[in-house]
Amino acid sequence: MDNLIFYSAIVLSMLMAIPLYRAVVGPTVLDRFMGVNSIGTETTVLLIMIGFMYKRVDMFIDIALAYALLNFIAVLAASRYFHKRKGLTEEME
């Protein structure tokens, strides 16, 4: 079972490259929001998996929880920017 968790964690961390790709490449800012949001979700799972690898899940759950909540705040704040400032591109060159 340890091996399963271990390999799943590796796979999951590799999978995180894809949302990261979306976040890095864009093309719009909103794609980046989406990518960051997805990274957050996957990281939450990965955190708990690491907890299993250390055999002390109870220590990691709090972090995962905080993580999930605060990820939300960050993305919300960023999208609030567009709620109040019009224009995706007009401020940019």
Partner 1 sequence: MKILGTITILLCGGLLIFFTSDFPDFGDPKSPASIHLSPYFIEHTLEDTAVPNIVTSVLADYRSYDTMFETTVILTAGLACFLLLRIPTKEVTRRYYLHEPTGVTLRFDGDRYPKGSNVFKRIDSNWVPYDIIINFTCRLLIHFIQIFALYVVAHGHYSPGGGFQGGVVIGASIILFAISSNLRASIKRLGEKAAAIFTATGVFIYAGTGALCMVIGEHFLNYSFLAPLLGTDRIMARSHGIFIVEIGVAVAVMAVMIWIYYNLSSAGKQDEGL
Partner 2 sequence: MILPIDLIVLLLVIISAFAAITVKDLLSASLMLGAYSFLLCLLWTVMGAVDVAFTEATVGAGVSTVFCVAAIFHTTRRTKD
Partner 3 sequence: MIIYIAGVLIIAGLFFFLVGSIGMIRLPDFYSRLHSAGIIDTMGLLLSMSGLALLILNEFNLGNFLSAIKIILIIVFIFLTSPTATHAIVDAGIRAGLKPWEKKQ
List the Cα angle 35/70/19 in 5-degree steps: 15
Query: What are the DSSP calls for 5-22, one per residue?
Result: HHHHHHHHHHHTHHHHHH
Distance of closest approach, residue 6 Cβ to partner 2, in angstroms: 7
Residue 8 binds partner 2, judged by CB under 8 A: no
Distance of closest approach, residue 36 Cβ to partner 3, in angstroms: 10
Distance of closest approach, residue 59 Cβ to partner 2, in angstroms: 6
Residues in the chain, overall count: 93
Q: Which amino acid is at 8?
A: S
Q: Which residues bind partner 1 (CB under 8 A)?
A: 58-59, 62-63, 65-66, 69-70, 72-73, 76-77, 80-81, 83-85
